[in-house]
Amino acid sequence: MRPYPDPFYPVVDSVDWVRRLAALGVGTVQIRAKDLAPAAALALVREALAASAGTSTRLVVNDYWEAAIEAKAEHLHLGQEDLAEADIGAIRRAGMTLGISTHDEAELDTALAVDPDYIALGPIYFTTLKAMRFDPQGLDRIGEWKKRIGSVPLVAIGGITLEKGAGVFEAGADTIAVVSDVTQNADPEARVRDWLALGKRYRKG
């Protein structure tokens, strides 16, 4: 049985990226596009699901839980603010998996209270992708988080490049979520293939 999420877990903001990654055989892809109106969010989710249909790619919807339910998505990821407002009961009744972002001990406690399918920790390294309220977590924090959550998969995210990937896995991460190291790479297809090879080396289960 394939682990969820896969060791390599790209996060992208367009259906075109979902389509490209699915064609390359990426097992888990998150669609994350911020500040959409409900109708636009639903359209995006439906298009992304269509782009990954018939492939081995499991599509994860970021934040838009109502659209995810309506579009019959199978996987959802929530940040802390969205978690506070989401109807967890409705999400569970829809049968979706649920991953939660965390940045400190209080957020980890909040996340664990909803029995998530995975916990994300970030940013591991400095990132310019978006403004962060939290300093880089570093590799030691990965080990600490993994001890606390036990068998729950741990996803590391934030400033992680392929060159740093082995160290992140060896620190205790089950999965590495990647954004700019793929989407801003001069040869994203080659980068994805290298990430898939690295993930295969560290895949558990």
Q: State how far the Cα of 166 lies from the Cα of 200, in Å rounded to an integer.
A: 11
Mean pLDDT value across residues 90-107? 97
Q: Under a CB-based contact definition with an 8 Å cutoff, are residues 69 and 84 in contact?
A: no
Asked if residue 178 is part of any domain, the answer here is yes
CATH of the domain at 191: 3.20.20.70
Asked if residue 3 is part of any domain, the answer here is no
Domain count, the chain: 1
Please name the residue ranges forming H helices in 5-64: 15-23, 38-52
Asked if residue 2 is part of any domain, the answer here is no
Domain range for residue 102? Answer: 8-202
Q: State how far the Cα of 165 lies from the Cα of 151, in Å rounded to an integer.
A: 21
- Of the candidates 62, 49, 54, the one whose C-alpha atom is nearest the C-alpha of residue 15 is 49
Give, for 34, the enclosing helix (H) or strand (E): none
pLDDT of residue 130: 56
- pLDDT, tens digit, for every residue of 174-201? 999 999 999 999 999 999 999 999 999 9
Q: Under a CB-based contact definition with an 8 Å cutoff, are residues 48 and 56 in contact?
A: no
pLDDT of residue 66: 98
pLDDT of residue 95: 98
Mean pLDDT value across residues 158-177? 97
